[in-house]
Amino acid sequence: MKDIRNIAIVAHVDHGKTTLIDEMLKQSGTVAAHRELAERAMDTNQLERERGITILAKCTAIEHGDTTINIIDTPGHADFGGEVERVLKMVDSVLLLVDAFEGPMPQTKFVLKKSLQLGHKPIVVINKIDRPTARPDEVLDMVFDLFVDLEANDEQLDFPIVYASGLNGFAMHELGEEQKDLEPLFEAILEHIAPPKDNPEGPLQMQVATLNYDDYLGRVAIGRVFSGKMRVGDNVVIARRDGSTSKARITKLYGFKGLEKVERDEIGAGEICAVTGMEAILPGETICDPDHIEPMDMIEIDEPTLSMIFMVNDSPFAGLEGKYLTSRQIRERLDRELEHNVALRVEDTDRPEAFKVSGRGELHLSVLLEQMRREGYELQVSQPEVIIRTDENGNKLEPIEKVVIEVEADYAGTVIRKLQERKGEMTHMTQNNDGSQRIEFLVPARGLIGYRSEFLTDTRGTGIMHTNFHEYGPYRGDIERYRGGPLVVLEKGETTAYSLYNLQERGVLFVGPGEDVYGGQVIGENSRENELVVNPCKGKKLTNVRASGSDDALILTPPKRFSLEKAIEFIAPDEYVEITPESIRVRKNILHHGKRKAAKK
């Protein structure tokens, strides 16, 4: 067998995983020194680069001496935890990255818990050690406490520690050592992570962890060979999730090196590889030797906690901007997403044009919607709802999120009051070195819908909030949600500056002059709680009488523009978000004003 190490880099969002991998690729010589390496080279998806987060787990491999180190870059956001859960089974250990100032955060706990359950012995990397506010000794104590809380065994508690700066490309075993390069990190990987103990002589067993799609090759299955060898042209059997089997033939095999896939004729036990020729294969399924069909245990994925209704767009502007509009096209796109997005669920509803889509959180679903919209799909979605369960005694259970907030002391009182109004329960509060407060809460997931933008307003944009699924707990009763009433358009037309000027004192507007609107569209938020039907298309009646001052230039406040997440947070139960490749609009589900009044009665 080749000398191999298989590791995953896990951490909370924004703790520097992808940046550290950039430096590892450069310093190992895997990416040629003369080649320009894009910042966060592993984030290849356009959405990942725009948002600065990792959404899909990706493989790379670096050569260090005679050793190949396979590295998997994992998402740090809780909504993409399904990606992390699948790839942890492919590796022999993890590098747990922790920010030298922030310390362990909710997602750190989530990924570490999954790793410890699989028996991994993590290497702890305290990253961003060059920050002026770094407090590595305190953070190390917090990491140790977290290992104890998660019931790590004695071997796991004796974890090796490396101090690093991914951005500046250095690592050290002890604080105060010379800051040169990442060699101490490579040494720790080779010393503390055991090579694979898989059997190269046994019958073939490869478990698929994740999927890619290639326009020329079709479905590309990525996973680890746990036993035996794979060769191009071999006939194999796929052991399916439902217990059935089907025959297939390996058409191409790829190993990983740097940012590229390298074509290979043979892959041995212990290696992570990509294989093509497997029709309709799904994550968790096993590729076996035809004479020894032994499926591996399926990868268990945590259940979704939030659902939305995706439906065909039926607004008056339907079909003007999108390419794919029908329920059949939307369903086909969702089915394609299910092939690799294992934390997603899609169910039919009693209406043929609507589907119930469930996921890990608002971000998980909004990233899917953003991808669909960029591909030319047009649809509308309902307000997100949490998935309620019942226990054996018939009691209602709802998802509870763990919320960690870092906020300046001046704003802490407002944040605590707002979260308690949303049925949150404060569990912990400490003061940081810089005088800011770190507060931990347990809050029902439905209490957090729409709270993030309110939180940023309350903390003047300085607060940091992280959430992660904690458990299903007892239902905590009704939550009152305050939002100003909607300003709803009376009839179809084009907005005028004259009309908007008179409307802007009523509340916050979402449209500017010269925009097409339709009856039932929500174009603003009323400063009061009642719904107000308005006509933003009214022009000024011209006469031949002139009066000084009446024809002055109209000064309009710039409209508030919604991102997809903000629109989903904003809407009420009787509203939809209309999503097209060009626009995001908020509308009432019953567009006609008279019918809407009748329905309320």
What's the CATH number where 66 sits?
A: 3.40.50.300
pLDDT digits (tens, 9 = 90+) for 394-435: 888 888 888 888 888 888 899 999 888 888 899 988 887 777
Count CA atoms closer than 13 A to 290's CA, side-chain side: 8
Both tokens of 420, joined, read: 């308690």
44 assigned ligand-binding residue: no
Is 274 within a domain?
Answer: yes
Whether the per-residue pLDDT at 508 is higher than 80: the answer is yes
16 assigned ligand-binding residue: yes
Gap between the Cα atoms of 130 and 493, Å rounded: 57
Is 564 within a domain?
Answer: no
Check whether residue 142 and residue 276 sit in a common domain.
Answer: no
Gap between the Cα atoms of 534 and 527, Å rounded: 14
Strand bridging mode 345-348 / 507-509: unpaired
Check whether residue 143 and residue 258 sit in a common domain.
Answer: no
Both tokens of 468, joined, read: 């992660």
Taking a C-beta distance cutoff of 8 angstroms, is the pair 61, 224 a contact?
Answer: no
Check whether residue 168 and residue 62 sit in a common domain.
Answer: yes
Whole-number average pLDDT of the chain: 82
128 assigned ligand-binding residue: yes
The DSSP 8-state label assigned to residue 495 in this structure reads -
What pTM was estimated for this model as a whole? Answer: 0.75
Whether the per-residue pLDDT at 344 is higher than 60: the answer is yes
| 216-221 own/partner pairs: CB under 8 Å, 24+ apart | 217/251, 217/252, 217/276, 218/276, 218/279, 219/276, 219/278, 219/279, 219/280, 219/281, 219/339, 220/254, 220/274, 220/275, 220/276, 221/274, 221/275, 221/276, 221/278, 221/281, 221/287
Task: Write the single-letter amino acid at 415.
Answer: V
The DSSP 8-state label assigned to residue 8 in this structure reads E
Taking a C-beta distance cutoff of 8 angstroms, is the pair 207, 286 a contact?
Answer: yes
Q: At which of 270, 288, 306 does a domain end?
A: 288
Q: What are phi and psi of 93, to 5 degrees?
A: -165, 175
Gap between the Cα atoms of 101 and 548, Å rounded: 62
Check whether residue 261 and residue 162 sit in a common domain.
Answer: no
Helices vs strands, H then E, count in the chain: 15, 35
The CATH number that applies at residue 414 is 3.30.70.240
Check whether residue 231 and residue 163 sit in a common domain.
Answer: no
Is 35 within a domain?
Answer: yes
Whether the per-residue pLDDT at 437 is higher than 80: the answer is yes
Give the number of domains in the chain.
3
Check whether residue 169 and residue 39 sit in a common domain.
Answer: yes
pLDDT digits (tens, 9 = 90+) for 363-406: 788 888 988 998 999 999 998 888 888 888 888 888 888 888 88
Tell me which of 171 and 548 has the higher pLDDT. 171
Whether the per-residue pLDDT at 562 is higher than 60: the answer is yes
Q: At which of 288, 310, 334 does a domain end?
A: 288
Is 69 within a domain?
Answer: yes
Q: At which of 474, 490, 522 does a domain end?
A: 474
Check whether residue 103 and residue 222 sit in a common domain.
Answer: no
Q: Among the residues of 29-99, which ranges form H helices? A: 46-51, 81-87
Q: At what angle do helices 17-27 and 183-192 cross, to 10 degrees?
A: 100
Check whether residue 159 and residue 87 sit in a common domain.
Answer: yes
> Which neighbouring-strand residues pair with 124?
96, 161
Check whether residue 20 and residue 133 sit in a common domain.
Answer: yes
Q: If you compute the radius of gyration of the chain from its CA atoms, what whole number of angstroms results?
A: 27
pLDDT digits (tens, 9 = 90+) for 266-319: 888 888 888 888 777 777 788 888 888 888 877 766 678 889 999 999 999 988
19 assigned ligand-binding residue: yes
pLDDT given for residue 460 in this prediction: 83
468 assigned ligand-binding residue: no
Check whether residue 165 and residue 101 sit in a common domain.
Answer: yes
pLDDT range class, residue 35, cuts 50, 70, 90: very low
Tell me which of 137 and 105 has the higher pLDDT. 137
The CATH number that applies at residue 210 is 2.40.30.10
Is 582 within a domain?
Answer: no
Dihedral sign for Cα 212, 213, 216, 217, please.
Answer: positive
Both tokens of 423, joined, read: 């049925």
Check whether residue 41 and residue 159 sit in a common domain.
Answer: yes
14 assigned ligand-binding residue: yes
Is 414 within a domain?
Answer: yes
Residue numbers of the domain that contains 93: 4-192
Taking a C-beta distance cutoff of 8 angstroms, is the pair 272, 222 a contact?
Answer: yes
Whether the per-residue pLDDT at 484 is higher than 60: the answer is yes
127 assigned ligand-binding residue: yes
Check whether residue 100 and residue 121 sit in a common domain.
Answer: yes
Residues in the chain: 601
Taking a C-beta distance cutoff of 8 angstroms, is the pair 54, 75 a contact?
Answer: yes
Whether the per-residue pLDDT at 226 is higher than 50: the answer is yes
Is 483 within a domain?
Answer: no
Taking a C-beta distance cutoff of 8 angstroms, is the pair 229, 256 a contact?
Answer: no
User: Mean pLDDT across the stretch 309-338?
Assistant: 90
Is 296 within a domain?
Answer: no
